[in-house]
C-alpha cells in the first residue's frame, strides 16, 4: 500500500476540480488529487499557497465554489464541519487548539463525543447504560493518551502542558473521533528541534495503525523522509505531484520555492 | 465523589436550613425565601445555558412570562385544574424555547445575545398589547394554587398556606438543580462545556453543536417556564412586567455575581442579591440600578463571581487555574 | 439612523455591541430636555452641549469599563454593556420617574403641510440634522487620516496594529464618536417623541436591525439599512400599529440573519 496509487482499489479521498473563491481572490483552483488508504501524503508549498484553505474545504469549514470531494465513496462536498468529522476526517489546527480549561483526560473524552449514544433522558437518570458508557469512554481516553505518550498527564489542566505536549493532545483528541483520514496542519510548528523527532515518530505510528495522513509541513527533510506522496501547491493549484524523489527534481517546484528551505 | 466531601456536606446543610427556616421565621421572611427560591430556579436554568454551554441569553424573561401566562390562561380560561395546567405550561415553555432557539442559535456572539433580547422585548410587547388574551396592563388574576394531593394514609397535602407553597417551590428547586447537576456531569454535559470553551473546536471534533445548544436552550427555557408558573401560582396575580426584559437581566446579574458555571453560583447569587436589598429596605426602582452597578463591578474585578472567588481563594496552591470551570477566568 | 451609524462604529471596531447605546440616547434626550426646560437654554446650544456631554460620558465609560476588560472573554464585554444598560435604565427610572415628559421647544407645535402630507417641523429638523451629520461623518471617514484609521481598524484590527495605528486610542475615539452620535440623536429626536426612561429600547432594536440588515462594518450599509427599515416601520405604524411595527422590523432582522447573515452590504459572516 506504499507509493502506488492503486487504480484497482478506490481511493479513500478523491478531490476533483476543487476551487474556492473569496470575492475576487481564488484561494484554491482546479485542485484534483487523491489519497489512498493508509498513505501519508504531504502537502507543501509557499505560504499563502492555499494549503490551510484546502484543509478547511475538506473539513467543511469553507464551502467549495466548484468541484467535489468524495470520501470513502460518499460525496461530502459542502457538508458541515461536524459531518465531515463523522464521516471519518479528523483535523488538527495550525494554532494548537485544545480545551485549555479542561483536564487532559477530559479533552480526549470530549473528543469521543460523536460516538456517545447516551441520550438526554438516560444521562439525567444515570441509567446503567449511561454509567457503563462513561466508563468505556474513560478507558478509551486513557488508551489513546498512552498511545500518544501522555499517559501520566491525565489529570492536569490542558493549559499547563508544554507546546509539544499540547500538540500530542490535539492529535489524541482527533484520534478519539476514530478517523480514517487525519489532516495535520503543521504539527511541528513552534516545537523545539529536539522534540520534533518525537512528533514525527507519533505521526508514523498513527499511519502504521492504518489511518491515512495528510500533512502540511515546511520542514523539507521531514517531508521527504516520511511521505508516500507529495503534492505541491502554489497559488492555489497543484503544480506538482508524485513521490518524494520525483518532486525533488521537479523544475517547477524548485522555481516556486526559489531555494527550498531545508530545515530540520 | 466521596460520600463526605465538603461539597456534599455544604449542600446537605443548605438543604436542611432551607427546610427548617420557614418553621421559625415569620410570614414576611418566608415569603422572601420563597421568592428567592423561584428566582433561583430561573437562575439555575440560565446557568445551564450560560454557565455551562456558554450562550448568553438576555431573553429568558420571555419564558418566565410564557410559563406564567400559560398556566394562568389554561387554568382560568379553560377551567382546567392546576396540575394539568402546570404540566402544559411547562411543555409550552419548552416548546417556545425550542422554536425560538432554532433561529437564534444559528447565530453566534453578539448576534445571538441581541436576538434573544429582541425576542424578550417582543414577547413583552405582545403580552402588553394583546389585551383580549392576556388582560394587558391589568394582568390576570385568579391563578390557581395546586390542588390538594391525597396521601396514602387518608390525609391531604394542601397548598393554601404560604409555607406549603414554599415547600412546593423548594421541591422544584431541588429537583431542577439535581437534573441540571446530572446533566452537566454526564457525557452530554462535557459536550456543553466544550461548546462553551470553543465552539469551533467542538464542531471540528464531530459534535453537532447546533443540536446540543438547542437541547440546552430548550431545557433552560422549560425550567424558566416552571419558575414563571410557580410565581403565578404563589402570587395569584400576574402582570406583564413579569415578561419585561429587565427581569431577565436581573436574574442574569444574580447568576453572574453568584458565579456562573458552578452549581452553587446561581443560588448563592440570587440569595445575596435578593436578601440584602430586602434587608436594607431599598426602593424597588433602585433595584435594577443597583444590580447593574454590582454586576459591573463584579464583571470587571471578579468575573467568576462569589463562588469563583471562593474557589480561587481556597485552591490557590493547587492549580494554575484562575477559577473553577465556567465561562470566566479561563487562561 | 444616527444611532445605527454610531453603533456600527463602536461595534465594528470594538466588537462590542453597546446595548447601552439606546439608553445613552435616552440620557441625551433627558439632558437636553432639562437644559431647555429648566434652564431655558437655547435649543441649539443644548444640542451642542448634550453632544459634548455624551462624548465625554462615552470616554469615561470606555476607560472605566471597556478598556480594563478588553482582554477578557467576549461574553464579559456583553455582560458589561448589559450592566451599563441596567444602570442607565435604573438610574433614569429613579431620577425621572415613570411619567412621560414633553420636550417642548418654541416650534414644537408647528406643523408644515405640503399638500396631503403634514409633518412636524421637528421631524424635518431631525431629517435635516441626520443628513448633515451623515455627510460630516462620511467626509471624516473618507477624507481625513483619522477617519481612515478608524475604518482600517474596523476592518482588520491586527493589520492596523502592524501599521502603527494606535488601536487603543482609536477604539477610545470610536466609542466617543459613537456616544456623541447618540447624543445628537437624543436631542434631535427628543422633541419629536414622548420622553420616557424606556424610550431607548425601541430605537436600539431598530438600529441593530438596521445594522444587520444593511450589513456589518459598513457605514453605508447601516445608513441604507436604516433608511429602508425606517420606511418599513413608518408604513407598518400606519397600517398596523406602532407596537406591532417594531415586531415587523425585528422580524426582518431575524429573517436576514437566518438567510443572509451578511446583510446587504456587509463583509464577513460572524465567525469568531
Interface touch A97/B198, C-beta < 8 Å: yes
B255 touches chain C (CB under 8 A): no
- Structurally, chain B folds into a number of domains equal to 1
Interface touch B320/A160, C-beta < 8 Å: yes
B319 touches chain A (CB under 8 A): yes
Residues C86 and C158 in one domain: yes
Search chain B and give the residue with CA nearest A91. B204
What does the DSSP 8-state code read for residue B148?
A: P
Domain boundary among C198, C220, C241: C198
User: How far is the C-alpha of C60 from the C-alpha of C11, rounded, in Å?
Assistant: 18
pLDDT of residue B294: 85
Most confident region among A7-11, B147-151, C67-71 by mean pLDDT: B147-151
Domain boundary among C198, C221, C246: C198
pLDDT of residue C156: 52
Split at pLDDT 50, 70, 90, the class of C262 is: low
Split at pLDDT 50, 70, 90, the class of C260 is: low
B209 touches chain A (CB under 8 A): yes
Give the model confidence (pLDDT) of C5-20 as tens digits: 444 444 433 333 344 4
CA distances from B44 to A38, B58, C179 (A): 49, 15, 35
Beta carbon pairs, B and C, within 8 Å:
134
Residue B323 is assigned to a structural domain of this protein = no
Cβ partners under 8 Å of residue A32, min gap 6: A15, A16, A17, A18, A67, A238
pLDDT of residue C126: 63
Q: What is the mean pLDDT of residues A166-191?
A: 89
pLDDT of residue A50: 81
pLDDT at B115 over 60: yes
The sign of the dihedral angle between the CA atoms of A79, A83, A86, A88 is: positive
Most confident region among A234-238, B87-91, C39-43 by mean pLDDT: B87-91
Nearest by CB to residue B114, choosing from C84, C93, C208, is C208
User: How far is the C-alpha of A99 from the C-alpha of A92, rounded, in Å?
Assistant: 13
Residue B139 is assigned to a structural domain of this protein = yes
Residues C205 and C189 in one domain: no
Retrieve residue A223's grid coordinates: 517531508
pLDDT of residue A125: 81
**Nearest of A148, A91, C256, C25 to residue B203 by alpha carbon:** A91
Comparing A216-220, A259-263, C231-235, the range with the smallest average pLDDT is A259-263
pLDDT at C36 over 50: no
Retrieve residue B243's grid coordinates: 415578561
Return contacts of C122-127, CB within 8 angstroms, 24+ apart.
C122/C191, C122/C192, C123/C192, C125/C188, C126/C188, C126/C189, C126/C192
Residue B133 is assigned to a structural domain of this protein = yes
The residue range of the domain holding B77 is 26-245
**Nearest of A54, A24, A40, A34 to residue A233 by alpha carbon:** A54
Give the model confidence (pLDDT) of B1-47 as tens digits: 456 677 788 888 888 888 888 777 777 888 888 888 999 999 999 99
A 10 A CB-CB count for B218 gives 23
Give the model confidence (pLDDT) of B299-320 as tens digits: 888 888 888 787 777 666 444 3
The sign of the dihedral angle between the CA atoms of B227, B232, B233, B234 is: positive
Contact residues on chain A for B312, CB-CB shorter than 8 A = none
pLDDT of residue C4: 44
B222 CA: distance to closest CA in chain C (Å): 23
Interface touch A120/B188, C-beta < 8 Å: yes
Residue B90 is assigned to a structural domain of this protein = yes
Residues C132 and C219 in one domain: no
Q: What is the DSSP string of chain C?
A: -HHHHHHHHHHHHH----TTHHHHHHHHHHHHHHHHHHH---HHHHHHHHHHHHHHHHHHHIIIIITTTTTS-HHHHHHHHHHHHHHHHHHHHHHH-SS-B----TTTT-EEEETTEEEEHHHHHHHHHHHHHHHHHHHHHHHSHHHHHHHHHHH-HHHHHHTT--HHHHHHHHHHHHHHHHHHHHHHHGGGS-B-TTTTHHHHHHHHHHHHHH-TT-HHHHHHHHHHHHHHHHHHHHHS-HHHHHHHHHHHHHHHHHH-TTTTT--S----
Contact residues on chain C for B117, CB-CB shorter than 8 A = 19, 205
Residue B251 is assigned to a structural domain of this protein = no
SS3 (DSSP) at A210: coil
Give the model confidence (pLDDT) of C109-130 as tens digits: 555 555 444 455 555 666 666 6
Search chain B and give the residue with CA nearest A58. B204
pLDDT of residue A231: 87
Q: Between these two residues, C8 and C189, which has the higher pLDDT value?
A: C189
pLDDT of residue C44: 62
A114 CA: distance to closest CA in chain B (Å): 5
- Structurally, chain C folds into a number of domains equal to 2
pLDDT of residue C102: 57
Q: What letters, b where the CB count within 10 A reaches 16 and e where it falls short, cover B236-257? A: eebbbebbbbbbbbbbbbbbbb
Q: What are φ and ψ of residue B157, in 5° steps?
A: -100, 105
3-state helix, strand, coil in chain A (%, to 5): 40, 25, 35
pLDDT at A9 over 70: no
B197 touches chain A (CB under 8 A): yes
Residues C183 and C213 in one domain: no
Interface touch A113/B190, C-beta < 8 Å: yes
Residues C248 and C180 in one domain: no
Give the model confidence (pLDDT) of B169-205 as tens digits: 899 999 999 999 888 888 888 899 999 888 888 988 8
Contact residues on chain B for A80, CB-CB shorter than 8 A = 203
Q: Between these two residues, C157 and B36, which has the higher pLDDT value?
A: B36
pLDDT of residue C116: 45
Q: Between these two residues, A115 and C179, which has the higher pLDDT value?
A: A115
Interface touch A123/B205, C-beta < 8 Å: no
Q: Between these two residues, A192 and A170, which has the higher pLDDT value?
A: A170
Contact residues on chain B for C260, CB-CB shorter than 8 A = none
Domain boundary among C198, C229, C256: C198
* CB within 8 Å of chain A, chain B residues 131-190: 179, 182-183, 186-190
pLDDT at B109 over 80: no
Comparing A105-114, B293-302, C73-82, the range with the smallest average pLDDT is C73-82
Retrieve residue C86's grid coordinates: 441596567
Residues C216 and C189 in one domain: no
* Torsion angle defined by CA atoms of residues B214, B217, B219 and B222, in that order, rounded to the nearest 10 degrees: -130
The CA-based diameter of chain C, rounded to the nearest angstrom, is 58
Q: What is the mean pLDDT of residues C119-147?
A: 64
Split at pLDDT 50, 70, 90, the class of B235 is: confident
pLDDT of residue C187: 65
pLDDT of residue C202: 62
Residue B11 is assigned to a structural domain of this protein = no
Residues C115 and C22 in one domain: yes
Interface touch C75/B56, C-beta < 8 Å: yes
CA distances from A148 to A155, A171, A202 (A): 16, 8, 7
Residues C87 and C109 in one domain: yes
Residues C230 and C179 in one domain: no
Interface touch B296/C87, C-beta < 8 Å: yes
Comparing A31-35, B32-36, B111-115, the range with the smallest average pLDDT is B111-115
Percentage of the residues of chain C whose pLDDT score is greater than 70: 13
Contact residues on chain A for B183, CB-CB shorter than 8 A = 120, 123-124
Split at pLDDT 50, 70, 90, the class of A194 is: confident
Around B67, how many Cα atoms within 13 Å sit in the side-chain half-sphere?
30
Q: At what angle do helices A128-148 and B187-197 cross, to 10 degrees?
A: 50
Contact residues on chain B for A86, CB-CB shorter than 8 A = 206
Residues C93 and C187 in one domain: yes
Residue B180 is assigned to a structural domain of this protein = yes
Q: At what angle do helices B6-24 and B27-50 cross, to 10 degrees?
A: 150
Nearest by CB to residue B205, choosing from A100, A134, A173, is A173
The residue range of the domain holding C251 is 200-272
Residues C144 and C247 in one domain: no
Is residue B204 within 8 Å of A81, Cβ to Cβ? yes
CA distances from C16 to B248, C22, C73, C206 (A): 20, 14, 12, 17
Interface touch A111/B205, C-beta < 8 Å: yes
User: How far is the C-alpha of C65 from the C-alpha of C171, rounded, in Å?
Assistant: 13
pLDDT of residue B54: 79
Q: What is the mean pLDDT of residues B148-173?
A: 78
Amino acid at each position: 500500500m506504499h507509493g502506488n496509487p492503486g487504480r484497482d482499489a478506490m481511493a479513500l479521498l478523491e478531490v476533483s476540480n476543487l476551487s474556492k473563491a473569496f470575492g475576487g481572490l481564488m484561494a484554491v483552483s482546479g485542485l484534483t488529487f487523491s489519497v489512498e488508504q493508509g498513505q501519508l501524503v504531504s502537502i507543501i508549498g509557499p505560504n499563502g499557497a492555499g494549503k490551510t484553505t484546502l484543509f478547511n474545504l475538506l473539513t467543511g469549514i469553507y464551502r467549495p465554489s466548484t468541484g467535489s470531494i468524495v470520501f470513502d465513496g460518499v460525496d461530502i462536498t459542502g457538508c458541515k464541519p461536524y459531518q465531515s468529522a463523522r464521516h471519518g476526517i479528523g483535523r488538527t489546527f495550525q494554532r494548537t487548539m485544545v480545551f485549555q480549561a479542561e483536564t487532559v483526560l477530559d479533552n480526549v473524552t470530549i473528543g469521543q463525543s460523536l460516538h456517545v449514544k447516551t441520550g438526554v433522558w438516560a444521562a439525567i437518570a444515570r441509567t446503567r447504560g449511561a454509567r457503563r458508557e462513561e466508563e468505556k469512554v474513560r478507558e478509551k481516553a486513557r488508551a489513546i493518551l498512552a498511545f500518544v505518550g501522555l499517559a501520566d498527564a491525565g489529570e492536569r489542566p490542558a493549559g499547563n502542558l508544554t507546546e509539544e505536549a499540547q500538540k500530542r493532545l490535539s492529535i489524541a483528541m482527533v484520534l478519539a473521533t476514530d478517523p480514517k483520514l487525519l489532516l495535520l496542519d503543521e504539527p511541528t510548528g513552534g516545537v523545539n528541534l529536539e522534540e520534533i523527532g518525537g512528533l514525527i515518530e507519533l505521526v508514523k505510528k498513527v499511519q502504521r495503525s492504518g489511518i491515512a495522513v495528510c500533512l502540511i509541513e515546511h520542514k523539507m527533510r521531514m517531508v521527504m523522509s516520511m511521505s508516500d506522496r507529495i503534492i505541491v501547491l502554489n497559488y492555489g493549484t497543484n503544480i506538482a505531484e508524485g513521490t518524494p524523489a520525483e518532486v525533488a527534481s521537479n523544475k517547477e517546484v524548485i522555481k516556486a520555492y526559489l531555494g527550498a528551505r531545508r530545515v530540520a | 465523589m466521596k460520600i463526605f466531601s465538603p461539597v456534599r456536606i455544604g449542600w446537605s446543610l443548605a438543604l436542611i436550613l432551607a427546610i427548617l427556616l420557614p418553621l421559625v421565621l415569620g410570614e414576611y421572611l418566608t415569603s422572601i425565601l420563597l421568592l428567592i427560591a423561584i428566582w433561583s430556579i430561573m437562575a439555575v436554568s440560565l446557568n445551564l445555558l450560560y454557565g455551562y454551554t456558554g450562550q448568553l441569553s438576555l431573553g429568558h424573561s420571555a419564558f418566565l412570562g410564557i410559563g406564567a401566562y400559560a398556566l394562568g390562561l389554561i387554568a382560568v380560561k379553560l377551567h382546567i385544574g392546576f396540575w394539568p395546567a402546570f404540566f402544559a405550561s411547562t411543555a409550552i415553555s419548552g416548546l417556545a424555547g425550542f422554536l425560538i432557539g432554532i433561529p437564534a442559535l444559528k447565530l453566534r456572539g453578539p448576534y445571538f445575545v441581541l436576538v434573544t433580547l429582541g425576542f424578550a422585548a417582543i414577547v413583552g410587547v405582545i403580552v402588553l398589547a394583546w389585551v383580549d388574551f392576556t388582560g394587558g396592563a391589568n394582568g390576570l388574576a385568579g391563578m390557581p394554587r395546586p390542588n390538594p394531593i391525597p396521601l396514602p394514609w387518608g390525609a391531604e397535602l394542601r397548598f393554601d398556606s404560604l409555607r406549603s407553597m414554599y415547600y412546593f417551590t423548594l421541591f422544584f428547586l431541588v429537583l431542577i438543580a439535581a437534573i441540571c447537576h446530572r446533566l452537566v456531569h454526564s457525557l452530554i454535559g462535557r459536550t456543553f462545556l466544550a461548546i462553551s470553551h470553543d465552539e469551533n473546536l467542538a464542531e471540528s471534533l464531530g459534535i453537532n453543536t447546533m443540536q446540543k445548544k438547542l437541547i440546552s436552550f430548550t431545557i433552560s427555557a422549560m425550567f424558566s417556564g416552571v419558575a414563571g408558573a410557580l410565581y403565578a401560582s404563589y402570587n395569584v396575580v400576574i402582570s406583564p412586567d413579569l415578561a419585561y426584559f429587565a427581569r431577565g437581566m436581573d436574574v442574569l446579574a444574580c447568576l453572574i455575581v453568584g458565579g456562573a458555571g458552578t452549581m452553587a453560583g446561581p443560588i448563592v447569587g440570587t440569595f445575596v442579591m435578593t436578601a440584602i436589598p430586602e434587608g436594607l429596605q431599598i426602593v424597588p426602582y433602585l433595584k435594577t440600578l443597583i444590580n447593574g452597578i454590582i454586576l459591573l463591578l463584579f464583571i470587571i474585578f471578579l468575573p467568576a463571581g462569589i463562588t469563583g472567588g471562593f474557589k480561587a481563594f481556597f485552591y490557590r496552591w493547587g492549580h494554575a487555574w484562575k477559577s473553577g470551570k465556567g465561562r470566566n477566568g479561563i487562561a | 439612523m444616527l444611532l445605527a451609524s454610531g453603533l456600527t462604529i463602536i461595534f465594528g471596531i470594538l466588537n462590542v455591541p453597546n446595548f447601552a447605546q439606546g439608553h445613552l440616547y435616552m440620557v441625551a434626550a433627558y439632558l437636553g430636555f432639562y437644559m431647555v426646560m429648566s434652564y431655558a437654554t437655547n435649543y441649539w446650544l443644548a444640542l451642542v452641549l448634550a453632544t459634548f456631554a455624551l462624548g465625554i460620558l462615552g470616554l469615561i465609560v470606555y476607560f472605566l469599563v471597556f478598556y480594563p476588560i478588553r482582554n477578557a472573554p467576549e461574553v464579559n464585554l456583553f455582560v458589561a454593556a448589559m450592566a451599563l444598560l441596567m444602570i442607565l435604565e435604573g438610574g433614569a427610572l429613579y431620577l425621572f420617574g415613570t411619567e412621560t415628559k414633553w420636550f417642548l421647544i418654541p416650534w414644537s407645535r408647528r406643523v408644515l403641510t405640503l399638500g396631503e402630507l403634514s409633518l412636524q417641523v421637528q421631524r424635518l429638523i431631525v431629517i435635516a440634522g441626520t443628513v448633515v451629520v451623515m455627510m460630516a461623518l462620511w467626509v471624516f471617514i473618507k477624507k481625513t487620516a483619522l477617519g481612515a484609521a478608524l475604518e482600517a481598524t474596523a476592518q482588520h484590527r491586527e493589520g492596523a496594529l502592524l501599521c502603527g495605528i494606535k488601536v487603543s486610542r482609536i477604539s477610545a475615539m470610536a466609542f466617543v464618536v459613537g456616544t456623541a452620535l447618540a447624543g445628537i440623536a437624543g436631542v434631535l429626536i427628543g422633541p419629536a417623541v414622548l420622553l420616557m426612561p424606556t424610550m431607548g429600547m425601541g430605537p436600539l432594536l431598530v438600529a441593530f436591525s438596521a445594522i444587520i440588515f444593511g450589513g456589518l462594518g459598513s457605514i453605508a450599509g447601516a445608513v441604507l439599512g436604516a433608511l429602508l427599515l425606517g420606511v418599513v416601520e413608518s408604513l407598518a405604524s400606519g397600517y398596523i400599529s406602532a407596537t406591532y411595527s417594531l415586531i415587523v422590523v425585528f422580524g426582518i432582522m431575524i429573517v436576514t440573519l437566518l438567510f443572509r447573515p451578511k446583510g446587504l452590504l456587509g463583509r464577513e459572516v460572524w465567525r469568531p
